[in-house]
Amino acid sequence: MNPKPPCIALFDLDHTLLPIDSDHEWGRFLARLGVVDPLYYQQENERFYRAYKEGTLDIYAFLQFALKPLKDHQKSTLDQWHEQFMSEVIEPQIRKEAIGLVNHHLVKGDICCIVTATNSFVTRPIAKRFGIDHLIATEPEIVLLQDKIQFTGRVHGAPNFKEGKVVHVQNWLRKLGYDWQSLQESIFYSDSMNDLPLLQQVKTPVATNPDERLRAHATLYQWQILDLFA
Catalytic residues: 12, 14
Q: How far apart are CA 194 and CA 209, in angstroms?
A: 14
CA angle 40, 44, 46 (to 5 degrees): 120
Whole-number Cα distances in Å, 135 to 114, 125, 146:
5, 10, 28
CB 211 within 8 Å of CB 217:
no
Distance CA 131, CA 102 (A): 8
Q: How far apart are CA 117 and CA 137, in angstroms?
A: 6
Rounded to 5 degrees, what are φ and ψ at 139? -105, 120
Question: Does residue 117 contact residue 139 with C-beta atoms inside 8 Å?
Answer: no
**b/e sequence 164-173, b meaning 16+ C-beta within 10 Å:** bbbebbeebb
Cα–Cα distance for residue pair 19/167, rounded to 1 Å: 26
User: Is the distance from CB of 213 to CB of 52 less than 8 angstroms?
Assistant: no
